[in-house]
Chain A
């Protein structure tokens, strides 16, 4: 049974989230601040950490940085509070495997946990923490936010680059337009899902051999998109 370490200073959250995760089939270790979380991770070596960003003392991002500095690749899902797009971008750059904005849909969190654990088991983990990703001839440098194809730089809008980064760090996962909007744009407006289609079209135009028959970013009818190319650290 996989173990999840939960770190949130709000007991109202942990008191309700822990039973929900246990019900979903996980062992749960609860901690209430960043320091405890670090000690708990070192002591229990959990399979995944759900980390609140805003905690007194050592906050979630500091915990994440410390973990990565110690070369621990434990998957981390951040619960972001401020909801600013800069915070989401930083979360991914600093090596979070996924993130959700509070207040989140409990089922969405469980879906994210399952996806991250499955990915970790399949690829040996690490895509979320890798500064450069490659899929075929497409290379994404997450630090400089540059994308190249066949060794040549491709000019993309910042949001298309962010979308590509999110898709490439979550290969083979079906992503609804709403989830992509929340993760990359930071808002979910019922009427704004077309923004996702526009950016996907931009990515396909620049990255696919034949944008009419995409191989990298494929459409999941009636749902959203999936990054279907094989992704590896470069």
Chain B
């Protein structure tokens, strides 16, 4: 606390330096410590040279402060405009995704019904194989619309909020993913504080949060090779709980990294692994719904870390 206050004072110092220098010089002139001592320089000049330095310093300080203030204001305005554009873009995309999901439902239902009728008609073997193939693809599309709907649902539906033990959720997520065959050969580790006190409980929807963590751990397992390590770390951080899911996997290229939160985005490297491109957007939707934030950092060939910040207390519902 004290360290932070001291740093804030230090950060405010540079613009004040000229005026401080002026005060110092003025004091030295007065004390006769500088060449010329306390003697007057000329009859027309009523102020001591130190006074001039002081005045110039003050002027420079005012100019510097005004400049800094103007730059700060411009930056704040620019950031606000950017955020508004981003929010508008996100809203548009959400609406598009919602409509797409809506428009796909009836055709998909009709196709599934038609297939069920055809399959009941005792088709010849070759036709039956064709029907099965169509059915598999329709199921794939159905899952896609369900996942899209799930994201939209998280953004709008009511949270079932309780006091959640994040450590227990992380243990559960690691257990659920650890049971999957693809987790074989990976080391899954959880590092959560127990001393001097455990993580504070977080207000949230346990079912949604555990799904988000399962998604992150599952991703870490999916995009790593045999022998890799997946480390889940949790820490208390001021008013938040910070969860990191880190892996020693393939990593994500710098070009792709900003896009991993977009619906249906799949990077070139990820295409070799089955997936919908909806896992991370779902995670983001869950975390945002809890008033938190999520970011990712990655180095190709070294691995990825996803950081989830969850506020301990939920902001009041708008």
Contact = CB atoms under 8 A, between A and B. Distances in A.
B113 A189 contact: no
B214 A85 contact: no
Nearest to A9: B106
Contact of A158 (B106, B160, B218): B160
A177 to B, nearest CB: 13
Contacts of B107: 12
Contact of B162 (A23, A102, A157, A192): A157
Contacts of B176: 191, 194
A56 interface: no
B20 to A, nearest CB: 60
Contact of A192 (B109, B177, B207): B207
Interface in B112-167: 112-114, 116-117, 120, 142, 145-146, 149-150, 153, 156-158, 160, 162
B108 interface: yes
A191 B211 contact: yes
Contact of B214 (A13, A15, A104, A192): A192
Nearest to A16: B113
Nearest to B148: A83
Contacts of B145: 103
B105 A81 contact: yes
A15 B106 CA distance: 12
Question: For chain A, what secondary structure do more than half of its interface residues adopt (helix, strand, loop), or is it mixed?
Answer: helix
B181 to A, nearest CB: 13
Interface residues of A, number: 35
Given A103-B105, A159-B160, A19 B211 contact: no
Question: For chain B, what secondary structure do more than half of its interface residues adopt (helix, strand, loop), or is it mixed?
Answer: helix
Contacts of A12: 106-107, 110
B110 A107 contact: no
A104 B177 CA distance: 27
A191 B177 contact: yes
A86 interface: yes
B210 interface: yes
Contacts of B214: 189, 191-192
Given A12-B107, A85-B153, A85-B157, 4 more contacts: A101-B149, A103-B108, A187-B146, A191-B218
Interface of A: 10, 12-13, 15-17, 19-20, 23, 81-86, 101-107, 157-159, 185-189, 191-192, 194-195, 198
25 contacts: A12-B106, A13-B110, A16-B114, A20-B113, A23-B117, A81-B105, A83-B149, A85-B153, A85-B158, A86-B158, A101-B146, A101-B149, A103-B104, A103-B112, A104-B112, A107-B116, A157-B162, A186-B157, A187-B150, A188-B146, A189-B150, A192-B211, A194-B172, A195-B206, A198-B206
